[in-house]
């Protein structure tokens, strides 16, 4: 179970859960920790730290994106000016830390989950609000189970690694009105049409049920027109395959008028950007390549994350974990049971915040609550 705010995200094989706590609060000074006692049961625990910085991205570095219009990111942690004149993001990675040990815990009770659907943003008072994002998955095939969505997990990992808060994921059928309604609603979630990011996945193919371009154009109060640069790229691609660039295929080059068009190296498929809406294909290999190529646009203040792995069950940990969550409201604390029988732990605890020192303090408090000892060394891993 997780404390307070949580939001669910779908994963390809199962339900991908990311647990968060919105808001950043100052570390409370002088918090009283319960004294440690002797316990009869002793279990393994391990800790590790992972900083998600561009240099430690979940995705390998890809060639630079080419664009038919100049566009610079709205959100940067820091900027440097290379000789080429382009603006790039830079940041200093935090030093990785690891500590190990074993833990024991006495009686505990299970706490309830609350705060579903609250904001995922962890903004520091006095600092600019971090960018928010939303994902709209489009396709009857997702809703009927014919196709399993994997793009949610891909985008969630990338945005987290870039310091962008993914605050909403929706799935809608191939119905133009539903797509338009969702886009309007998601704008409210991310801060409007000129702040944050909305990503769509699916519905940009050549068949009758591919209505995403039309829906995005309608939502953004524009129409559709044939994009000649994309047509030429398509012509080269299909002629090399010995195929005809027919009217059906040209639907894939009929884009919202006035949109910015990005091209991923080695691919003809356009990434159309209308206002702050990024229109992506639903095919995972294309979605992955295109969002990764555009990732420099999506940047906010980076997160620090540390994990504890223990053989205690969630019910054993809940009472102590609830106290830590209460003492450190600026840290998103999550609890995840192991899903594989062969896993060397029973429960994984996750501590996340944009304030590394706050994460370290929360982990130290958790270790104290769980009667942490330091003589059980196990291999750590990044998350």
| Lookup: tokens for 37 | 């006692």
Instruction: Please choose, from the candidates 231, 273, 264, the residue with its C-alpha nearest in 3D space to the C-alpha of residue 250.
Output: 231
252 belongs to a structural domain? yes
Which residue bears the tokens 């993914």? 166
How far apart CA 208 and CA 211 sit, in angstroms, is: 7
Number of domains in the chain: 2
- For residue 239, what are the CA distances in angstroms to 233, 243, 253? 10, 6, 16
DSSP 290-304: HHHHTGGG---PPPE
Examine the pLDDT at 381 and tell me if it is beyond 60.
no
Residues 247 and 350 reside in one and the same domain: no
Q: Would you say residue 236 has pLDDT above 90?
A: yes
Q: Is a pLDDT exceeding 70 seen at residue 249?
A: yes
Distance separating alpha carbons of residues 145 and 38, to the nearest angstrom: 51
Q: Are residues 106 and 166 in the same domain?
A: no
The predicted model gives 189-210 an average pLDDT of: 96
pLDDT band at 202 (very low <50, low <70, confident <90, very high): very high
What pLDDT score does 80 carry?
A: 34
Q: pTM for the whole thing?
A: 0.66
What one-character-per-residue DSSP string does 102-122 give?
EE------PPPP--BT-----
Residues whose CB is less than 8 angstroms from the CB of residue 181 and which lie 6 or more positions away in sequence, other chains included: none
How far apart, in whole angstroms, are the C-alpha atoms of residue 264 and residue 97? 36
One domain, residues 105 and 250: no
pLDDT at 248 over 60: yes
Contact yes or no for 80/90 (Cβ under 8 A): yes
DSSP 295: G
* 221 shares its domain with 291: yes
Residue labelled with tokens 């639907």: 251
Give the pLDDT confidence score for residue 371 in this predicted structure: 54
How sure is the predictor about 211, in pLDDT bands with cuts at 50, 70 and 90? very high
Task: With a cut of 90, say whether residue 52 has pLDDT above it.
Answer: no
pLDDT tens-digit map of 38-51? 222 333 333 444 44
pLDDT over 60 (residue 208): yes
Give the pair of three-digit tokens for residue 166: 């993914």
Domain end position, chosen among 248, 277, 297: 297
Question: Which neighbouring-strand residues pair with 262?
Answer: 67, 271
66 membership: H or E segment, kind and range:
strand 66-67
Helix or strand run (H / E) with residue 243: none
Distances (CA, A) of 272 to 131, 157, 216, 294, 347: 20, 22, 10, 12, 42
Residue 320 lies in a domain: yes
Mean pLDDT (whole number) for 54-72: 35
Task: Check if the beta carbon of residue 247 is closer than 8 Å to that of residue 256.
Answer: no
Residues 318 and 360 in one domain: yes
List the domain range (segments joined by +) for residue 238: 132-297
- Domain assignment present for residue 346? The answer is yes
Kindly tell me if the per-residue pLDDT of 215 is higher than 50.
Answer: yes
Is residue 369 very low, low, confident or very high in pLDDT (cuts 50, 70, 90)? confident
- The dihedrals phi and psi of 273, each to the nearest 5 degrees, come to -120, 115
**Per the domain annotation, does 38 fall within a domain?**
no
More confident residue, 52 or 348: 348
Distance CA 55, CA 357 (A): 21
Whether 20 maps to a domain, the answer reads no
What is the distance in angstroms between the CA of the first residue and the CA of the last residue of the chain? 19
Any domain includes 68: yes
């Amino acid at each position: 179970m997780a404390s307070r705010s949580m939001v669910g995200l779908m994963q390809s094989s199962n339900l991908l859960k990311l647990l968060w706590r919105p808001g950043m609060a100052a570390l409370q000074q002088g918090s009283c920790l319960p004294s440690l006692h002797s316990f009869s049961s002793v279990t393994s625990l391990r800790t590790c730290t992972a900083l998600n910085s561009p240099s430690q991205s979940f995705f390998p570095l890809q060639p630079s994106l080419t664009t038919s219009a100049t566009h610079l990111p709205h959100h940067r942690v820091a900027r440097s000016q290379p000789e080429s004149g382009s603006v790039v993001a830079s940041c200093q990675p935090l030093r990785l830390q690891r500590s190990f040990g074993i833990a024991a815990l006495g009686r505990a009770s299970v706490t309830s989950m609350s705060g579903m659907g609250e904001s995922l943003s962890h903004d520091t008072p006095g600092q600019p609000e971090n960018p928010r994002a939303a994902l709209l998955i489009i396709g009857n095939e997702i809703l009927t189970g014919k196709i399993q969505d994997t793009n949610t997990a891909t985008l969630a990992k990338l945005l987290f690694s870039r310091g962008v808060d993914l605050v909403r994921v929706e799935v809608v059928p191939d119905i133009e009105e539903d797509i338009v309604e969702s886009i309007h609603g998601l704008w409210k979630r991310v801060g409007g049409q000129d702040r944050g990011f909305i990503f769509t996945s699916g519905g940009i193919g050549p068949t009758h049920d591919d209505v995403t371009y039309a829906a995005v154009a309608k939502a953004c109060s524009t129409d559709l027109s044939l994009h000649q640069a994309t047509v030429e790229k398509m012509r080269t691609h299909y002629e090399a395959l010995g195929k005809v660039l027919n009217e059906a295929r040209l639907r894939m080059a009929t884009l919202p008028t006035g949109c910015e068009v990005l091209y991923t190296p080695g691919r003809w498929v356009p990434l159309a950007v209308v206002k702050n809406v990024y229109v992506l294909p639903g095919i995972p290999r294309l979605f992955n390549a295109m969002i990764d190529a555009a990732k420099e646009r999506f940047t906010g203040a980076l997160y620090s994350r540390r994990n504890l792995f223990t053989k205690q069950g969630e019910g054993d940990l809940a009472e102590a974990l609830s106290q830590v969550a209460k003492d450190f409201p600026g840290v998103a604390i999550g609890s995840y049971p192991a899903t594989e029988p062969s896993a060397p732990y029973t429960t994984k605890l996750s501590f996340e915040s944009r304030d590394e020192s706050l994460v370290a303090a929360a982990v130290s408090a958790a270790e104290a609550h769980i009667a942490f000892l330091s003589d059980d060394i196990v291999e750590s891993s990044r998350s």
